[in-house]
Structures are given as structure tokens and as C-alpha cells.
Amino acid sequence: MAWLKRLASPKWWPIDRKTRKFVAVPRGPHKTDASLPLVILIRDILKLAQNSNEAESIIKKGEVLVDGKKRRDPHYGVGLLDIVEIPSIKKSFRAVPSSDGLKFIEVSDSNKKICKIIDKKNLKGNRFQLNLIDGRNIITKENSYSTHDSLLIELPTQKVLDRLDFKKGNVALVIAGKNSGKIAKIKDIQKDKIWIGEEKTIEVPKNYLMVVGKEKPLVRLE
């Protein structure tokens, strides 16, 4: 297993950096500084275990689901808008961005997830591969999807329930930077410079935004 020095871990992780030298490195599709290992989530945030051994036992028994799938790796990294379900306590949580890193809010719409399209590839047979921000890929024959658009998908089937275009008037979530967590309508688009808000607008890089709705977010984000 890979380990990270606690002093070098992301500042938003809720861990004691003085009692022990190393901490679990998150594995999976999300970057280290943008995700949290399941063992820390279960122990330090959800408080379902008193120590690492108890947390690891819960996870290895298959009692934790991420996006509808059992994850038995204590190092599995939970990232942007991932859904964590704990069937034993009948609760689900969504990882949402904030100025202090990810926070986990309890939700009832655990079968839905919004994902941003970060790349699109042409395949043989007039098919297209949509690469999503959380590492998953969706194959489709529909050519109308564009990079920076978002998809509302059903979990765990990956069925596309709705499409959200990256355009003026739609609602976007800031997923990185000092305004992380802010939700506002897209006011203007000029290449990679985007302005969001109503009376008072702010400029946000295009890569820092994810469209999450038309009039309001399609899932609970706060």
C-alpha cells in the first residue's frame, strides 16, 4: 500500500498530523489533493469507527458503497460529487466542494449524479466515448455532446437521465479555486473566461465550472 506523510497531506483532511507519521494515499480516478480515502471518511468525518482498524473492517466487509458499488479498499479515494452510502445506517452522503475542500452532506437522491464531460473521442462505427470528470466513460451514438457539458446519470447503471449544456443561463457549480462551492447562473462566456452571478458577477476559469442545472441544481448540493 502507498502511504503519505501526514504533514504533506491536503490541509483540508481532518486528521491529526502529530501523533503518527503516515496516512493512507487515496487510490482511484480522483487526484490526491481532491479526494479523501474511505478510511478517513468513515473514521474522522462520519465517526462510524473509533480507529483505523475498525474503519478498515467496515470497508473490507463491503458495508460502504461509492456511486452504488461496494468498495472494499480502505484507500479508495472519494472525490467530487461521489455518493457514499452506508446501508447499515440507511444514510447517504454526497461529496461537494467548498472553500475548505470537500464536505459531505446527507442526501436522499443517492441514485443520481452529475458528471462533467472533460473529453470526447470518436470511435469506430459512428460511436463516441465521453470521458467524465470522475474517471468513468460512456459510449454513445449521439454526437451532440460537447466537452464541458454535464450529464445527469443514474447510479449505478450509468443511464443518462439528462444533459446540461455549458451555456449562458444555466446554473453552474464552482469546483475549484477560491470560490469553490459557489452556485450561480452563467452570465457571460468569452472563450475560457466565464462570468457567473446576477447583480454581482465574478470571473471563473472554464475548467473550474461544472453545469449542474437549468433553473436550479438537479441534485442536492448544499
CATH code of 36's domain:
3.10.290.10
Q: Which of 17, 10, 59 is nearest to 31 (CA)?
A: 10
Beta strand extents in 18-90 (DSSP E only): 22-24, 36-37, 65-66, 69-70, 77-78, 83-86
pTM: 0.90
Indicate the number of domains in the chain.
3
Does 97 share its domain with 123?
Answer: no
Separation between Cα atoms, residue 189 and residue 199, nearest integer Å: 16
Per-residue pLDDT, 4: 63
Residue 152 placed within a domain: yes
Give, as one character, the DSSP assignment of residue 207: G
Intervals of the chain under pLDDT 50: none
Domain at 133, CATH number: 2.40.50.740
If asked whether residues 116 and 187 sit together in one domain, one would say no
102 lies in the same domain as 118 = no
Residue numbers of the domain that contains 48: 3-106
End-to-end Cα spacing for the chain: 34
pLDDT tens, position by position, 9-29: 667 677 666 666 667 778 989
